[in-house]
Amino acid sequence: MTSKRTSRVLIVGAGIAGMAATIALRRVGAAVDLIDIDPAWKVAGAGLTITGPTLRAFRQLGVYDEVAELGYVGEGIRVCTIDGEPVRDIPTPMPPEAGVCGSGGIARPVLYEILSARVLAGGVHPRLGVSVERIDQDDDGVDVVFSDGASGRYDMLVGADGISSRTRDQIFPDAPGPQYTGQSVWRMFVPRPPGVDRRHYFLGGTAKVGWTPISASTMYLFVVERTPRLVRERHQLPGGLVELLEPYGGYVREIRESIDENTEIAFRPLESFYLPSPWHSGRVILIGDAAHPTTPQLASGAGMAVEDALVLAEELAVHETVSETFAAFTARREERCRLAVESSIEIGRLEQLQAPPEAQTAVVERALATLVEPI
């Protein structure tokens, strides 16, 4: 499927959303410029949990086989007590026609390597250390002035610059901004024992603990805790995580005992908000976390970003105008993205209330059952 004419597109942000959009839009014949404010084009964070719908999106993007080879794909989620005793398994079936497993995980740097290689192979070389200083629109295009003094004119601008999107501030100056949810998350890489074949939750404690396999030999441990917004210094992280994991048994206890002052631990507060649609103004549109940032409880943020990219490219290929493209995009994305954001926030709320594990997992199952439906 190719667009009726060559569209010139500027994508702001070279993270998952921006790289996916670059790949998808190049595939339908768009000429793409990609910029990112980070001069190193590096990724922060540890592992990424992947749902079946996200794996389907990766397949449609053309990278599923690499994700499966370099990450982990499997089935199901195991719910355990804080002592590590299994309580039940949550099924994660995908329709046979999707051609993917129902669950997965991958290290974020590995996913970035996969996507960036595709971007470069498609002939797009990002300009790094550059941002957009000014956006001026008219009926025929978007004029952009960059932070390095360069300028350009485009048919459309895609803001894929994350939860703290400057593009969002430029086109919607009165839009709400990120709000702390009351929870923070800890993450660290740990060895994957041979018997671990799926994601695990350990529920019933004061914090939510879990792990996701991300390769044949590695998992990442995540711990979500309720706390006032804190800034923790790096030297405080090992001791803080050891204390938080003290009530947990099984392999979590072994992980706890392995933590020392040299252990690499990532810690960040969780933020979210819902931006009412439309997510576009004139010829500028927001995708991914710039439009609908979500917390990790449903493990769907990356998937929603990739789906945005796929849908935007599909609609560009069949519509004559940018306004028609954006309207069709919104019609397909609004309810689905709202479900992901609101379900994630609801799960986090239940976690903070220490609601019964069944109440927490019920929200996960309901949301995933809907997200399994075609994009």
Going by pLDDT thresholds of 50, 70 and 90, the confidence category of residue 245 is very high
Tens digit of each residue's pLDDT (9 = 90 or more) over 200-230: 999 988 899 999 999 999 999 999 999 988 7
- What's the rounded Cα separation, in Å, for the pair 135 and 346? 36
Cα-Cα-Cα-Cα dihedral of 352, 354, 355, 361, to 10°?
80
Going by pLDDT thresholds of 50, 70 and 90, the confidence category of residue 6 is low
Position 364 scores a pLDDT of 92
Going by pLDDT thresholds of 50, 70 and 90, the confidence category of residue 274 is confident
Other CB atoms within a 10 A radius of the CB of residue 210 amount to 21
The mean pLDDT value of the chain amounts to 94
Other CB atoms within a 10 A radius of the CB of residue 245 amount to 23
Give CA separation, 173 vs 28, 165, 166, 170, 327, in Å: 32, 11, 10, 6, 21
Mean pLDDT across the stretch 48-77?
97
Q: Which of 232, 250, 249, 229 is nearest to 241 (CA)?
A: 232
Position 3 scores a pLDDT of 43
Residue 4, pLDDT above cutoff 60 = no
3-state SS, residue 74: strand
DSSP per-residue codes, 311-375? HHHHHHHH-SSHHHHHHHHHHHHHHHHHHHHHHHHHHHHHHHTT--HHHHHHHHHHHHHHHTS--
Environment class of 314 (CB within 10 Å of its CB; exposed 0-12, middle 13-18, buried 19+): buried
Tens digit of each residue's pLDDT (9 = 90 or more) over 164-202: 999 999 999 999 889 999 999 999 999 999 899 999 999
Residue with tokens 């441990």, as numbered in its chain: 221
Mean pLDDT across the stretch 40-58?
91
Other CB atoms within a 10 A radius of the CB of residue 101 amount to 20
Going by pLDDT thresholds of 50, 70 and 90, the confidence category of residue 46 is confident
Q: Structure pTM?
A: 0.95
The token duo for 95 is: 């329709």
The token duo for 59 is: 């397949």
Do you find a cis peptide bond into 193, omega within 30 degrees of 0? no
Pairing outcome for strands 156-159 and 284-286: parallel
Residue 2, pLDDT above cutoff 50 = no
Lowest mean pLDDT among 15-19, 118-122, 176-180, 337-341: 176-180
Tens digit of each residue's pLDDT (9 = 90 or more) over 277-331: 899 999 999 999 999 999 999 999 999 999 999 999 999 999 999 999 999 999 9
Position 85 scores a pLDDT of 95
Tens digit of each residue's pLDDT (9 = 90 or more) over 335-370: 999 999 999 999 999 999 999 989 999 999 999 999
Residue 63, pLDDT above cutoff 60 = yes
Q: What is the C-alpha radius of gyration for the chain, rounded to an integer number of angstroms?
A: 21
